[in-house]
Amino acid sequence: MTAAFENYDTIGSLQALQPSFSHSFSSTFVRQFISKTLNQLRMKKFLTTVLSVCLMAFFSLSFAQNDKVYLHNGEVMEVSVKGIASGIITYSYPGEALTQEVAEKQVEKIVFSSGRVQQVSEKIVINGKDDWEKVAITSLESDIKGLVRKGEVKGSKTGATTFSSTSKVLEKAEKEMKEEAAEMGAHIIFIKNYQVRDSDGINSMTGLAGGRSAKASVTGIAYGYE
């Protein structure tokens, strides 16, 4: 009898065996044993099915609650977006209460758990020095948070004549600085220092250079997406 049970360990096989044992054995014990085994197998199968469904539902719900933040460097963050204000996106990672921040300028779009898509900013593509006009200058640390430091950049210019205005000289100095940043592949400069003065060191920010050629120098740190 032991050898027979080794070959029939599924519900279907036991159900097929039950009539055979009923005719071959008058023992009530055999019928009860088969019936009990069938019930146990059915219960095990039922519990396994219920557990699988619950696990699938749990994981589906967990993933569905996440928002997807697409960064310009190609990274996709699965997080919970808490808010968007003043150029900053606040979010937290699943299972964490601590909030993080990322500048809107670093984010292409957000795909919310509801399915809604919100475009945030366009990527600034820098291919070389000729793209210097795309390079931005900022004094806000929030604009560079999370970006990659490329290096220090600077520009320095002196007016061609004594009638050169400080604003024109400053523009030329900024252009030189932006060209250097563009060559690094950077799209934004965090400004560190502005200096505008005449050749004798007299401040000339408000007008002509007092009969002397104006000078301007600027320095900053260039940053890029990656």
Return averaged pLDDT per consecutive 10 residues of the chain, 226 residues in all. Answer: 45 53 55 70 74 66 75 93 91 92 92 94 92 93 88 88 73 94 95 77 50 82 93
Nearest one of 62, 92, 95 to 77, comparing CA atoms = 92
What does DSSP say about strands 107-111 and 214-224: parallel, antiparallel, or unpaired?
Answer: unpaired
Specify the pLDDT at position 162: 56
Specify the pLDDT at position 7: 44
Specify the pLDDT at position 163: 56
- CATH code for residues 129-224: 3.30.110.70
Specify the pLDDT at position 16: 56
- One of 2.30.30.100, 1.20.1440.130, 1.10.490.10, 3.40.50.300 is the CATH number of 65-119, namely 2.30.30.100
SS3 state of residue 65? coil
Classify residue 106 by burial, with Cβ atoms within 10 Å: 0-12, 13-18, 19+: buried
Specify the pLDDT at position 194: 87
- Strand ranges in the chain using DSSP code E only, listed in sequence order: 67-71, 76-85, 88-92, 100-103, 107-111, 117-119, 136-138, 148-158, 188-198, 214-224
Specify the pLDDT at position 6: 45
Q: Between the CA atoms of 122, 128, 129 and 135, what dihedral angle is there, to the nearest 10 degrees?
A: 20
Specify the pLDDT at position 15: 54
Full-model pTM: 0.60
